[in-house]
Amino acid sequence: MQNKTPTLTLLALSALLTTIPCVDAATHFTATLTPDQIVGVTPTATGTGFVKATLTGGPGTWVFSYVGDFHNYDFGAYMVPHVTTGTSPLDGAVSATATTVSLFDDVRNFHIHTGASGATGPVAYSVRAPDRENGIEPNIEIDILSPTHVRIYGTWDLSDGLVGGTVPQTQQGNLEYWGPILAAAKTGDEVPLYFDIHTNLTPTSEIRGQITAVPEAGAAPLVLLSLAGLVVRARRR
């Protein structure tokens, strides 16, 4: 009597995707920055931002790498000269490196704050001194792609932290505090951290975006492709 091997169908295998966790799901994050997420303020800004980030390392070696695109803001006036030379124009002063005429859209700082969606909190990471890297600029690159479009590459590491901070979330080496929290996030979880930019027009906060865990790009298709291979092999048998 011929032995019959059960044949798994692609449909049945693909259904398993709902129970298979994505690879490195907790180490990949995004944040969409919009004015309507600012707490207690009627949104008037027209700028937006989108950041992708990846957490690597472990205790003692955490690194949070990010790349962000921002539109309808002038990063050239203050951010670029500060990152490249360590100095920037005085508040409200005209900058020779500005990319737009308006002073209102000039970005003064780019932060990661502590706080859940709908709440505010202190700064955990900033790209400008004196509160970063013991007074030294963090690893950051700002590419001006157009007068109102920039791309920022940077890393938040264990050297970053508010010098003299009084709470674990913001004191020196604060990524040692946040690393395990970020690593424990499940896909779709909002972490109690948010990206935020400040401008001349709204120095308190103009746009913000909650950091959210996402699956690694392409992880699900790769799993599905592997499952399809199992189907082919099962049918051949």
Give the chain's domains with CATH numbers: 1-23+221-237 (no CATH), 25-215 (2.60.40)
Q: pLDDT (tens digit, 9 = 90+) per residue, 78-118?
A: 888 877 777 777 777 788 889 999 999 999 888 999 999 99
44-49 contacts: CB < 8 A, separation 24 or more?
45/199, 45/201, 45/202, 45/206, 45/207, 46/72, 47/71, 47/72, 47/73, 47/105, 47/197, 47/206, 47/207, 48/72, 48/207, 49/195, 49/197, 49/207, 49/209
The whole-number pLDDT of residue 216 equals: 81
Residues of the chain with pLDDT > 70: what percent? 73
Segment 62-68 shows an average pLDDT of 95
Residue linked to tokens 């709470």:
167
**Which pLDDT value is given to residue 19?**
47
Whether pLDDT at 54 is above 90: yes
Q: What percent of the chain has pLDDT over 90?
A: 44
Mean pLDDT of 61-79: 94
* Section 27-36 average pLDDT: 96
pLDDT, position 225:
44
pLDDT tens column, 32-44 = 999 999 998 877 8
Q: Which residue has the tokens 């005085």?
A: 90
- Burial class from Cβ neighbours inside 10 Å (0-12, 13-18, 19+) for residue 142 reads buried
Reduced to 3 states, what is the DSSP secondary structure of residue 131? coil
Whole-number mean pLDDT of the chain?
79
pTM for this predicted structure: 0.78
Q: Tell me: the pLDDT tens digits for 143-186?
A: 999 999 999 998 898 877 665 567 778 776 788 999 999 999 99
Q: What is the DSSP letter of 115?
A: -
SS3 of 187, please? coil
Is residue 142 within 8 A of residue 75, CB to CB? The reply is: yes
Q: What is the pLDDT of residue 139?
A: 75
